[in-house]
Structure 1
Amino acid sequence: MPNMTASTTPFCASRLERLLRHVAFVLLTCFAVLVRADDGAIRSAEIVRGEGGYVLNADIDIELNSRLVDAVSRGVSLYFTTELVIERPRWYWFNRVVVDRSLEYRLYYHAITRSYRLSIGSFHQSFDSLEAAVMTMRRVRNWQVADLATLEAGVSHQVAVRFRLDTSQLPKPFQVTAIGSRDWNLGTDWLHWTFLPGAPGFQ
């Protein structure tokens, strides 16, 4: 009887390789789901014409998990950012980015006054509770993102906005801890929509 070992071994190895690839894919998918378990969402967003240009209003559904609450209570400053990108489509090339803005937040606990402080740019506000400070971050109102001349009236623009914890501004030991940790991977997906300058609201 002929020896079949030489012909069956490559086949078995191929099946084993495919099985391992499948298992790895499933594990990575599960890991991604776990990492994103504490993510929030942009519930609503719109760009409207204000007094000096176009402004963004948005409502963000976000909650600090116990790890972040503990960090703030122990005096660690947390930095968050709302990011906005507006692009003008071009049929002959990639979209042209006409607006790329960020609204920066710093959240920290002031032990002497026993209050939570939220800094938004040069504006500072104190709160008796952490929940009140977070609620303020959730509501973006009248954030001017573009001058009237920046967005061409009557031309559709693609808008994207998201909110996230900026771990790059954490103290170095916390930056290391944050790598691959679901507790420090707090944020939302990008919300996309089409905006037509010169028209009310967006579609």
Structure 2
Amino acid sequence: MIVRPAAVLLQLLLWCVMGLVTSPPAAAQAHGATVTQMRLEQADDGVYLSAAVDFELPQLVEDVLDKGIAIYFVAEAELYRERWYWTDRKLAQAARHMRLAYQPLTRRWRLNVAPVPITGNTGFGVSLNQNFDSLGEALDAVKRIGRLRLGDVAEIGDDASHGVVFRFRLDTSQLPRPFQIGVVGQADWDIAVERSARLPVERLR
């Protein structure tokens, strides 16, 4: 009997989805996130946002990772200038996409970070790759959004403060299609937070 890799992968996906769909409703709990830090910094080469989030990864999501299925996180930021006579003007926006996966052969965790969605079609050529010995270490890196570049100082201006909208979420739209169907309505996959604030610009030296 010849076992085809594609068939094995399909069986694995279907098994996982069935596990998601048949999970008892009582076991589902809300797993949100909180923003614990936001900071605007101006350097010679641009304006950056640093942020930190805190969340607990549900056991259901850990089980999916253990089976070799990657999960994706997205951090997004928008920068505004306040206008008393009209709605605030958007000056800049930026995003950071993160792909977290377990490598069974090395028993290590790999985190790919890129400014654009990381897909099989585009490859990981534009991403920064990091390897970790434990899931906890990898998640710590996901939770720290360091120096997200928003743009040049000439484009943004040198105002003393700016309005900032920061969003962070677990992006289920990049999961394999069977998983996208299975996670609908599952609170375990609902990890997201949004925070708005007016922040002073710290000038780095």
Shorter-normalised TM-score: what interval? 0.7 to 0.9
- Give yes or no for contact 1:86–1:100 (8 Å, CA) kept in 2: yes
The counterpart of 2:131, out of the listed 126, 129, 132, is 126
- Give yes or no for contact 2:75–2:168 (8 Å, CA) kept in 1: yes
CA distance in 1 between counterparts of 2:188 and 2:161 reads 38
CA distance in 1 between counterparts of 2:37 and 2:160 reads 22
TM-score, normalised relative to structure 2: 0.74
The counterpart of 2:197, out of the listed 172, 193, 200, is 193
CA distance in 2 between counterparts of 1:157 and 1:127 reads 35
Matched, 1:67 2:60: yes
Matched, 1:157 2:162: yes
User: Equivalent residues in 2 for 1:102-181 (5 A)?
Assistant: 102-121=95-114, 122-154=127-159, 156-181=161-186
Residue 50 of structure 2 is matched in structure 1 by 57
Q: CA deviation at 1:196?
A: 4.6
CA distance in 2 between counterparts of 1:107 and 1:169 reads 12
- Give yes or no for contact 1:178–1:185 (8 Å, CA) kept in 2: no
Root-mean-square deviation (Å): 2.1
Larger radius of gyration: 1
Aligned residues: 166
Q: CA deviation at 1:96?
A: 2.0
Q: Which runs of 4+ in 1 moved over 6 A?
A: none
- Give yes or no for contact 1:117–1:133 (8 Å, CA) kept in 2: yes
Q: Which has the higher relative contact order, 1 or 2, with Cα contacts under 8 A spaced 6 or more apart?
A: 2
Q: CA deviation at 1:120?
A: 0.7
CA distance in 2 between counterparts of 1:179 and 1:114 reads 30
Higher relative helix content: 1
Structure 1 counterpart of 2:61, one-letter code: L
DSSP-derived class of the 1:104 partner: strand
Assess, with a 3 A threshold, how the Cα gap between structure 1 residues 154 and 50 changes in structure 2: closer, same or farther.
Answer: closer
51-60 or 169-178: which moved more? 51-60
TM-score, normalised relative to structure 1: 0.74
User: Structure 1 regions of 5+ residues with no counterpart?
Assistant: 1-33
Higher relative strand content: 2
DSSP-derived class of the 2:192 partner: coil
Structure 2 counterpart of 1:61, one-letter code: D
Residue 5 of structure 2 is matched in structure 1 by none
